[in-house]
Amino acid sequence: MKASGLMVKCLENEGIEYVFGVPGEENADFMMSLEQSDKIKFILTRHEQGAAFMAEIYGRLSGNPAVCLGTLGPGATNLITGVADANMDRAPVLVLTGQGSTARLHKESHQIMDVVDMFKPVTKWATSIYNAVTIPEVVRKAVRIARTEKPGAVHIELPEDIAKHQVSAEPLDPRRFRRSVVDDKILDQSFDLITHAKRPVIIAGNGAIRRRAAKQLRLFCEKTGIGVLSTFMAKGAVDMDADYCLYTIGLGSKDYPTLAIDEADLVITLGFDMVEYHPKLWNPHKNKPIIHADFLPAEIDEYYHPQVELVGDLAHTLWMLNQRLTTHGIPKYDLAQQAETRRLMQNELAEHANDDTSGTIRPQKMLWDIRHVMGPEDILLSDVGAHKMWIARHYHCHQPNTCLIPNGFCSMGFALPGAIAASLVAPQRRILGISGDAGFLMNVQEMETAKRLHSNLVMLIWEDHAYGLIAWKQESEFGRHTDLSFDNPDWMQLAGAFGWHGHRVEQSNQFADTLETAFKQQGPSLIVVPVDYSENMALTRRLGEMTEPCPVAS
């Protein structure tokens, strides 16, 4: 068979279901071979960046990689932002690019650039196929690396002449390995610290939302009552309604949830990833005793210097701790600050539940209504902008992977293509993407993809005619901001032009009903809401007053 056909067979063998992308001349052989597959579906996108975001969300939701595809030169460079986002958000993704003939790679030639070297900084591994016989090994290695903790992106380049070669090789069977587990003696050391602490707290990171890990974490918290602070990407690791859920950290300023860390005499981090939230923000005096539990050793940092490192499969580590609790009994902890933290946040979340405003709607009101319209298994995807901060603080989850926020590389333009992928993975769930007016227009062309695929999704735009997050940050630091404003299209005409349903809401008391209506419509729907971002600086001022730990209520 052709090498391109062998590549497809290897991808089929790995259980790959989707290839998202924009083909080019240099991967024409691969596309012809892919067309013959009855196991892999090709999704034509309108930009390679959208393809990368779709592959990322497929990987985050399923745990298995999808493929994003581009041709050489500009096709490859268009992929790179989405690939970097997937890699830093720890999503398994395969990146497949075409390349010119190997006979011209050594010299100046049309569209030729070193794509492999370009992808090395934003992937776990990047390589080119120089010999068609190696395709089975390369694909098997690529999938294993992409899936292995911490998951990420892997790039394979297939030159056009290599794709045409005849080859007799066969795919390698995938053989999974069992992750290493923590040594008993090290775990005993950590268990001793946990049992002798009086006010421990848990920080759950991206690694804690693996379903086995989340299950064991909940069992651990049910036994001990120890509170859990989730990073943006760890939402749903514990149920928002549980007494031990202390909501989300990561805003970069003191907030009610950080009060639990201030009072803690032990911090247990589970799957914590420093790309999300630097320890300097929660351990500024470098004095917090830390237990690090993750698939990999801790990153070296002066503000993150754990007493004990539990390196191994995180679910198994938590299972071992749960076994010891069963054997040795449950410690008694002082949970007063945790209860106060939870009370303060619950009051904050409900403060604007009954808002009745006209012209603009507060972020808090929209997120309160969204949480009540969305079910426990439904999926919200946040783009990057000021809305992301409000979603992180005010939207909480019952299950892992039901609020997807890019918080490693943090690329705008994520939500619309991500929502399309989510609708493919979970067509039975409600899918809501939230974007600012800036982020939405960065991949607006994928509205056509959503319509063509008959995607059942809702995109909600918070309109402020500006780069709102940058304005917020500049004003917080300098007391003013530079010119960050712009004009927008007529959103309803835009929705109609792409064949979407369109809604504009300016009355807060109509928002929930409009959202419900949009979810019930077949196909994609757009909702546009003028947002009241005067709340941004109001929140900054309020949190800025929290210079000392808040006293526990008597």
Close Cβ partners of 248 (under 8 Å, ≥ 6 residues apart): 229, 230, 231, 232, 235, 257, 392, 393, 396
pLDDT-derived band at 194, boundaries 50, 70, 90: very high
Spatial separation of the C-alpha atoms in residues 42 and 31, rounded to whole Å: 9
> Mind listing the pLDDT tens digit for each residue in 313-333?
999 999 999 999 999 989 999
pLDDT at 2: 93
**Amino acid present at 519:** F
Contacts for 437 with CB less than 8 Å, ≥ 6 apart? 461, 462, 463, 464, 465, 488
509-552 confidence digits (pLDDT tens):
999 999 999 999 999 999 999 999 999 888 888 887 765 443 33
Question: What does residue 381 show for φ and ψ, rounded to 5 degrees?
Answer: -120, 130
Q: What is the pLDDT of residue 60?
A: 96
Percent of the chain's residues with pLDDT above 90? 85
Residue-level pLDDT at 167:
93
- Confidence bin at 476 (pLDDT 50/70/90): confident
User: Which pLDDT value is given to residue 364?
Assistant: 96
Beta bridge partners of 458: 432, 525
Kindly state the average pLDDT of the residues 9-21.
Answer: 97
Q: Is the pLDDT of residue 242 over 50?
A: yes
Based on DSSP, count helices (H) and strands (E) in the chain, helices before strands.
21, 18
130-169 residues labelled b (16+ CB within 10 A) or e (exposed): eebebbbebbbbbbbbbbebbbbbbbbbbbbbbbebebeb
Q: If pLDDT is split at 50, 70 and 90, which confidence band does 201 have?
A: very high
Confidence grade of residue 410 (pLDDT, cut at 50, 70, 90): confident
Average pLDDT over the chain reads 93
Torsion of the alpha carbons at 213, 218, 219 and 223, rounded to the nearest 10: 140
- Residue 231, φ and ψ in degrees, nearest 5: -75, 175
CA-atom Rg of the chain in angstroms: 24
Expressed in percent and rounded to 5, the helix, strand and coil fractions of the chain are 45, 15, 40
Nearest to 498 by CA among 511, 489, 510: 489
Average pLDDT estimate for 350-360: 94
- Is 378 in contact with 547 (CB distance < 8 Å)? no
Q: Which two tokens stand for residue 146?
A: 């992409």
CB proximity list for 545: less than 8 A, separation 6 or greater: none
Cβ neighbour number for residue 197 with a 10 Å cutoff: 20
333 and 224 Cβ atoms separated by less than 8 Å = yes
CA dist list (Å): 381 to 247, 299, 399, 417, 508: 18, 28, 14, 10, 22
What are phi and psi for residue 194, nearest 5 degrees? -65, -40
CA angle 361/364/369 to nearest 5° reads 85
Instruction: Give the number of other Cβ atoms within 10 Å of residue 338's Cβ.
Output: 28
- The answer to whether 390 and 367 have CB atoms below 8 angstroms apart is yes
pLDDT at 412 exceeding the cut of 60: yes
Q: How far apart are CA 348 and CA 536, in angstroms?
A: 14
Cβ–Cβ under 8 Å, residues 193 and 307: yes
CA distances from 539 to 254, 394, 402, 438 (A): 11, 12, 25, 22
Asked if residues 237 and 214 have their Cβ atoms less than 8 Å apart, the reply is yes
Q: Flag the least confident range among 49-63, 74-88, 230-244, 467-481.
A: 467-481
Neighbouring CB atoms inside 10 A of 90's CB total 23
286 C-beta neighbours (distance < 10 Å), count: 12
Average pLDDT over residues 430-449: 97
Res. 106: pLDDT tops 90: no
- Of the pLDDT bands very low, low, confident and very high (cuts 50, 70, 90), residue 105 is confident
Q: 28-74: per-residue pLDDT in tens? A: 999 999 999 999 999 999 999 999 999 999 999 999 999 999 999 99
3-state secondary structure of 96: strand
Q: Is the peptide bond before 288 cis (omega within 30 degrees of 0)?
A: no
Asked whether the beta carbons of 105 and 159 are under 8 A apart, the reply is yes
Tokens of 398: 């019952």
Residue in the block written with tokens 């941004």? 536
Task: State residue 546's pLDDT score.
Answer: 63
| For residue 554, pLDDT beyond 60 | no
Mean pLDDT over 292-300 rounds to: 95
pTM of the predicted structure, to 2 decimals: 0.94
**Does the structure show a pLDDT above 90 at 293?**
yes
The answer to whether the CB of 525 falls within 8 A of the CB of 430 is no
Q: Reply yes or no on whether the pLDDT at 553 is more than 90.
A: no
pLDDT average, residue stretch 404-420: 94
Give the residue-averaged pLDDT of 171-194.
Answer: 92
Question: 24, 90 in Cβ contact below 8 A?
Answer: no
pLDDT per residue as tens digits for the range 112-141: 789 999 999 999 999 999 999 999 999 999
